[in-house]
Chain A
Amino acid sequence: MTMQDETIVSAVISILVENESGVLARVIGLFSGRGYNIESLTVAPVEQSRHQSRINIVTSGTPQVIEQIKAQVGRLVPVYRVANLTQVGPHVAREMALVKVVSSGEARTEALRIAEAFRARAVDTTATSFVFELTGATDKLDSFIDLMRPLGLAEVSRTGVAAIIRGPRTI
């Protein structure tokens, strides 16, 4: 008999769906109905001509649960393909954040300096505020936001993860 692995792992699930009304609700309803986690979610059309959208979900669970998520999502009628990128192999996972910092004097200079180090762009600047745009892996965004906290962090807007397999393979 196979023993069950109880360690919780994180996984990026990419789903290619028919771009029809209700499809996102189906996927999300499945997650909430079966008690699966959603840590982040992105969705956008990727193949206009073929009416396809791609949903990327960062989730976590035991390996058995992650397998179940894949299988359950695969059951949905408008789903073309579903892949656990974390399992498929090396992949790129990126998200974007818009970070508003309101400060002056020393803190303002420091914020700008850290932004440069992170290659964040100031996409909006006023005398009292910046909006930084930063793209990267989730943990990089997390640490940038942490560093901004004492420097007048006022608001954050994040996209959630978009992910793709490295190399010539596709899902």
Chain B
Amino acid sequence: MNATPNRNDLKPNTRGHGADIVLSGAEVLLRVLVEQEVDVIFGYPGGAVLPIYDALFKQNAVRHILVRHEQAAVHAAEAYARSTGKVGVVLVTSGPGATNAVTGLVDALMDSIPVVCFTGQVGVPLIGTDAFQEADTTGITRQATKHNYLVKNPADLARVAHEAFHIARSGRPGPVVVDLPKNITVGSAPYAPASRAPHPSYRPRTEPEREAVVRAVAAMKRARRPLFYTGGGIINAGPQASEALGRLVRKTGFPCTSTLMGLGAYPTTDRQFLGMLGMHGTYEANLATHGCDVLVALGARFDDRVTGRLDAFSPDSFKIHADIEPSQINKIVQVDVPIVGDAGRVIEMMLEEWDRQDGAPDPAALGQWWQQIDAWRGIRSLHFEQDRTPSAIIRPQYAVRRLYELAMETGRDTFVSTEVGQHQMWAAQHFQFDRPNRWLTSGGLGTMGYGLPAAVGAQVAHPDALVIDIAGEASTLMNIQELGTIAQYRLPVKLFILNNQYMGMVRQWQELLHGSRYSESYSAALPDFIRLAESFHAKGMRATCVGELDDVIRAMLAEPGAVVADICVAQDENCYPMIPSGAAHNQMLLGPEQEGEVKVSAEGRMLV
């Protein structure tokens, strides 16, 4: 075999069956990656994966991005996956390499992101002996993955590695771990191409039942106050599903709201879009959810951040719920028409049925519904006042608004990742997404430290795009070491820090629930972000007042390399509107004036 095979050398032999070609396990793994059309993996080496790193060294087909922490490798792979629709791939060593990856795996599990993570393991004879850097990786990641494997037999390696990709990307996508003992990657193993035969036990259903869609559309045609509630499942179903959603929303004339994870599936600047729903959703989205008579949930899962108090969630609606994963249906909210299937297929079938079935919703009723919605809109729940005197303190919402407007002026394809906290919500509320796959955030797990490695993954996938991490100063310190990765690969990532010197979201809850006792939520001893940037070979910038904001954003956008922009924002700003925990959608707080009026119930206090 050629010592430096190119992509063609690694292509499986298509004439023979390939099963009799004997390679090392590590070479088999690389062949699988090539056959699975993987062009980049995110990883970090160590003893147990050295044979794989050696095989990587001898080829050019698969690019390796060396991160600075294994958690970051998984987040980068997640963002790569979410921004391309492909599977993200991770390679880490045994023991601490694998345990460091766990947070990323759970993050991908919660947000249904297809990731395959290869972990090194001590040789099979050493398993169970507390060997150096041994961890029970399959045991630890069993509940952190969609599925995981320990390859104990070289004959299984190629099949398992191919299967991992199939499982990660099909059905409801998710992370899959393949644990590779060192003797398996060092020793010889047979290659086998991906099997075309269906998996014996795993057969996710993608095609919806026509009959269910017929009933759903019949209800939609009778609706007087309808609402689409769309989620991340539409993003996972691919750009054509978002495109179909656009057609369905326009054809029906119904209003549409979205979860945090679904932003961008329907253009957020469109008139029929009501904004995000849920805890920090808009007034109109939440009141429409509360008041609608037909709720059409597509690829969403009734998360507690969305529903608020369950017994008061959308109390009078006929509920239609389409999800690819049957276990999501009737899990939280009992629905009237369950539809199991791929969101894109469900939407296409709804469009067909809409044309086939007679009648249309009562236009007068729909008109009244829109009037009502427009009245709610008139409240302008996302509105804020920004003092424009140059020396005025920057309000964080304003910083996001200006960032959006000035980024749009560049005309560049723009990807936004976030960390977790108030800044994440302000980004969701004030940045606009007219296309899917451009919004990268940690929804289900709410992982601080997600955004910077996610920006790495997105920038690697889209080298020419504008990639911005809208960050909080506390979160970003959780994976700040990725500035090293950004420097090494010259990734022009823009880290845009809304620096309020607080774990703002924590402070906000302490204000609301704990008598403003700001226990441990002050960001003390912060680094000088400009010098931090410079030490990582990036440009550092700072805006301390309104007069400096636009210049800093413009300079950041014009800079060809990486930038850390320290945007000093108001420290006491809270994120509104807000549904306090344990409250219903029609009990929103619109601003600080109402904070005093809120009585969070005893049960509400126990919710997170």
Please measure, in the bound complex, the distance between the C-alpha atom of A74 and the C-alpha atom of B200, giving whole angstroms: 13
**Chain B residues within 8 Å of A76, by CB:** 147
Whether, in the assembled complex, A26 has its beta carbon less than 8 Å from a beta carbon of chain B, the answer is yes
B150 touches A21 (CB 8 A): yes
Q: How many residues of B contact A (CB 8 A)?
A: 27
Binds A, one of B34-42, B94-102, B326-334, B580-588: B326-334
Q: How many residues of A contact B (CB 8 A)?
A: 25
CB nearest to B325 among chain A residues: A75
Please measure, in the bound complex, the distance between the C-alpha atom of A67 and the C-alpha atom of B315, giving whole angstroms: 22
CB nearest to A72 among chain B residues: B327
Q: A71-B326, A74-B327 are in contact. Are A2 and B334 (CB under 8 A)?
A: yes
Q: A18-B200, A33-B143, A77-B201 are in contact. Are A1 and B334 (CB under 8 A)?
A: yes
A74 touches B326 (CB 8 A): yes
Q: Measured between C-beta atoms, what is the minimum distance from A47 to chain B in Å?
A: 12
Within 8 A of B (CB), among A49-71: 64, 67-68, 71
Q: A18-B200, A22-B138, A68-B330 are in contact. Are A77 and B147 (CB under 8 A)?
A: yes
B201 touches A80 (CB 8 A): yes
B319 touches A1 (CB 8 A): yes
B331 touches A68 (CB 8 A): yes
Whether, in the assembled complex, B146 has its beta carbon less than 8 Å from a beta carbon of chain A, the answer is yes
Whether, in the assembled complex, A78 has its beta carbon less than 8 Å from a beta carbon of chain B, the answer is yes
CB nearest to A5 among chain B residues: B334
**Chain B residues within 8 Å of A74, by CB:** 326-327
Within 8 A of B (CB), among A1-49: 1-4, 17-18, 21-22, 25-26, 29-30, 33
Q: Measured between C-beta atoms, what is the minimum distance from A54 to chain B in Å?
A: 13
Whether, in the assembled complex, B352 has its beta carbon less than 8 Å from a beta carbon of chain A, the answer is no
Whether, in the assembled complex, A112 has its beta carbon less than 8 Å from a beta carbon of chain B, the answer is no
Please measure, in the bound complex, the distance between the C-alpha atom of A71 and the C-alpha atom of B325, giving whole angstroms: 9
Please measure, in the bound complex, the distance between the C-alpha atom of A22 and the C-alpha atom of B334, giving whole angstroms: 33
Within 8 A of A (CB), among B128-147: 138-139, 142-143, 146-147
Whether, in the assembled complex, A79 has its beta carbon less than 8 Å from a beta carbon of chain B, the answer is yes
B202 touches A25 (CB 8 A): no
Among B142, B150, B317, the residue within 8 A (CB) of A1 is B317
B142 touches A25 (CB 8 A): yes
Q: Measured between C-beta atoms, what is the minimum distance from B258 to chain A in Å?
A: 23
CB nearest to B201 among chain A residues: A80
Whether, in the assembled complex, B464 has its beta carbon less than 8 Å from a beta carbon of chain A, the answer is no
Q: Measured between C-beta atoms, what is the minimum distance from B315 to chain A in Å?
A: 7
A18 touches B201 (CB 8 A): yes
Please measure, in the bound complex, the distance between the C-alpha atom of A25 and the C-alpha atom of B520, giving whole angstroms: 39
**Chain B residues within 8 Å of A4, by CB:** 334
A68 touches B327 (CB 8 A): yes
Interface centre among B150, B319, B330 (most CB of A within 10 A): B330
**Chain A residues within 8 Å of B335, by CB:** 2
**Chain B residues within 8 Å of A21, by CB:** 150
Q: Measured between C-beta atoms, what is the minimum distance from A69 to chain B in Å?
A: 9
Whether, in the assembled complex, B245 has its beta carbon less than 8 Å from a beta carbon of chain A, the answer is no
Whether, in the assembled complex, B336 has its beta carbon less than 8 Å from a beta carbon of chain A, the answer is yes
29 contacts between A and B (CB under 8 A): A1-B317, A1-B319, A1-B334, A2-B334, A2-B335, A3-B334, A4-B334, A17-B201, A18-B200, A18-B201, A21-B150, A22-B142, A22-B150, A29-B143, A30-B143, A64-B334, A68-B330, A71-B329, A72-B327, A74-B327, A75-B325, A75-B327, A77-B146, A77-B147, A77-B167, A77-B201, A77-B202, A80-B200, A80-B201
Q: A29-B142, A77-B201, A80-B201 are in contact. List 17 more A-B contacts (CB 8 A).
A: A1-B316, A1-B318, A1-B334, A2-B335, A4-B334, A17-B201, A22-B138, A22-B148, A64-B334, A68-B330, A71-B329, A71-B331, A75-B325, A75-B326, A76-B147, A77-B147, A79-B201
